[in-house]
Structure 1
Amino acid sequence: MARFGVIQIGANARKMLNLDKPALDWCSLGAGLGIKSGRAETSEDFVKLLRAALARTGPFLVEAVMPQSDSSDG
């Protein structure tokens, strides 16, 4: 937004730029495109999925769930 001279992003613009509302099921989206995937909610899950992804041929989507940020700057 800064490239367009926007100094402060309004509430409506922020809503249009966020990917969390509505919540998306990235694994289902990947499956719809024929891509194997897995969801990681812990660092241990992430390591397992990353290893599995690197061990296979072809694409593999890892949905890494991050804790919500309390900051208002998005």
Structure 2
Amino acid sequence: MDDNRTDKVLLYKGVKTMIFAVLTLFMGPIILSMALSQPENKLYIPLLVVGLLICAFAVFLIFKGIRLIMNSMFKK
């Protein structure tokens, strides 16, 4: 018989991924604003690159978290 229940382990993993995504959603723009507020600082380019990478990673984590949550509810 087909069991139509949510996979709780996969759901927990998806929620945990979304929590990390929210953290990086806040951390990325904060680092970017720190970098852009002082362009004459010698750490301008490294902070800018790190901030952009964190923002891109946040978008990746959002898609991965949503996919995991959907897979836990609607099994493939």
Looking at secondary structure, tell me which structure has more helix per residue: 2
Mark the structure with the bigger radius of gyration.
2
Greater relative CO, 1 or 2 (CA 8 Å, sep 6+): 2
Flag whether TM exceeds 0.5 (same fold): no
Q: Which TM-score applies when normalising by structure 1?
A: 0.29
